[in-house]
Amino acid sequence: MTSNQAEKPPLTGANSFTEAQARERIADAGFQEVKGLKKDDKGVWRGQAMKSGQSVEVALDFRGNVVQQ
């Protein structure tokens, strides 16, 4: 990757967020009804949540980036 191509979240890496902290971060980003939250083998918390009345996939990386997927 060249220096002018920034990686896009969710970034992989050692994630120290607990499940409760991950839920709180995702909720603070405007998502409700977070469920099915699990940390994958790349250190990214993934689950489902509601946003604007729709069920969406969400992810939280080790830097605290919350991404709708």
Task: Give per-residue pLDDT as tens, 12-62.
Answer: 999 999 999 999 999 999 999 999 999 999 999 999 999 999 999 999 999
Q: Length of the chain in residues, anyone?
A: 69
Q: What is the C-alpha separation between 30 and 51, in angstroms, rounded?
A: 7
The reported pLDDT for the residue numbered 2 is: 47
Confidence of residue 5 (pLDDT cuts 50, 70, 90): low
Helix, strand, coil % in the chain, rounded to nearest 5: 15, 35, 50
* DSSP helix/strand/coil, 28: helix
Contact 26, 60 (CB under 8 A): yes
